[in-house]
Structure 1
């Protein structure tokens, strides 16, 4: 039996813990930086972005689980404030879900097979790295998985997973 831990799956499994806060924290989880859009020179008004993901918090390959949890805490708090108690039982078009769309974290773009031409090779590197660190992993349809879910309880699992993810998906060969 295999436990799939693709990028989204891992986040969903672990996103409910952690403290409050949110935003793009630096690598050490300290401090946050806010971005402010300013109008273009010449007094023109800023046009709204056609990109529906513009302004959403972006998870990075090297984001710690605490960083990811903080981002998800902000989104989940917004859902709750807007009357959405269980996001998985609510239509994505529900008003509360729409109101919070801008706070829903985005997975690292490198983990999207549609945007990463080296995704399959990167998955194999990820699995090899995890296995080298004693976390028995396999390639599964759509990504990688653990041979046994108990591996997530291994000492330093989160650090190993983050390090292998950076090594596999962040380095150009």
Structure 2
């Protein structure tokens, strides 16, 4: 299920659950529901408030004009086609701009916002992170889904046929650089994120960690060194 209260910092792997608690709070989110997964699957990533590509996200297909909500008769596939798609090297500014637009859509429709999470004047507050509230405003969330950013295609299992191998390479890269992490897997044996080893010490929000993580993401999911 999508997480509507988080979005990733630029350079964070958005299809893994690595350090989810730390990263959600610190803003280096290695989460996201790619394609509707669990802790490792935030479909559009997360904002640094709790939750990358060299240009602003591009739509996954042509369709309604930017800012125009699909009609009530639109199929789920049509709505999905309207969602903006992040690229692997998205900047934080680009990510924030898209998530602000999505959250503003929710606010305009009456979804309660968590104003306590606002850190800067004029910053768009995220929605309240409460399952009961989400259920209560289900129609509003559905109406704004077309504005919720999608993960880069490289970091979604359903759009990357080599996702399992790339994910393994990503974990191996982090380990080779001294991070004590390991893969976790879903019931079907597919990759379901990363987690710290029990003896890990350090901070997931440090500049050094973010650089390592970004380099490994680009190397593993970006195809560096692949034929």
TM-score range, shorter chain: 0.5 to 0.7
Q: Which residue number corresponds to residue 140 of structure 1?
A: 184
Kindly state the Cα deviation for residue 74 of structure 1 after the two structures are TM-superposed. Answer: 1.6
Q: Which residue number corresponds to residue 122 of structure 2?
A: none
Cα 1:97/1:60, change in 2 over 3 Å: same
Q: Which residue number corresponds to residue 130 of structure 1?
A: 174
Kindly state the Cα deviation for residue 15 of structure 1 after the two structures are TM-superposed. Answer: 0.8
Cα 1:161/1:114, change in 2 over 3 Å: same
Kindly state the Cα deviation for residue 87 of structure 1 after the two structures are TM-superposed. Answer: 5.5
Larger relative CO (CA 8 A, sep 6+): 1 or 2? 1
Cα 1:93/1:69, change in 2 over 3 Å: same
Aligned counterpart for 2:217 among listed residues 155, 165, 170:
165
Kindly state the Cα deviation for residue 60 of structure 1 after the two structures are TM-superposed. Answer: 1.4
Spell out, residue by residue over 1:46-96, the C-alpha distance to the aligned partner (whole angstroms, 9 max, x if none).
xx7853212211111222344323321221121122111226521397232
Q: Which residue number corresponds to residue 52 of structure 1?
A: 79
Q: Secondary structure of 2:135's match?
A: coil
Q: Which residue number corresponds to residue 21 of structure 1?
A: none
Q: What TM-score, normalized to structure 1?
A: 0.67
Are 2:32 and 2:46, in contact at CA under 8 Å, matched by a contact in 1?
no
Kindly state the Cα deviation for residue 117 of structure 1 after the two structures are TM-superposed. Answer: 2.5
**Superposition RMSD in Å:** 3.6
Kindly state the Cα deviation for residue 116 of structure 1 after the two structures are TM-superposed. Answer: 2.4
For the residues of structure 2 that align with 1:69 and 1:146, how far apart are their CA atoms?
Answer: 27
Q: Which residue number corresponds to residue 41 of structure 1?
A: none
1:17-166 matched pairs, under 5 angstroms: 17=49, 27=54, 51-85=78-112, 86=128, 88-89=130-131, 90-91=134-135, 94-141=138-185, 142-147=192-197, 148=200, 150-166=202-218
Give the number of aligned pairs.
154
Cα 1:7/1:146, change in 2 over 3 Å: farther
Q: What TM-score, normalized to structure 2?
A: 0.53
Q: Secondary structure of 2:207's match?
A: coil
Cα 1:51/1:26, change in 2 over 3 Å: same
Q: Which runs of 5+ in 1 are unaligned?
A: 18-24, 39-47
Are 2:57 and 2:84, in contact at CA under 8 Å, matched by a contact in 1?
no
| Structure with greater proportional helix content | 1
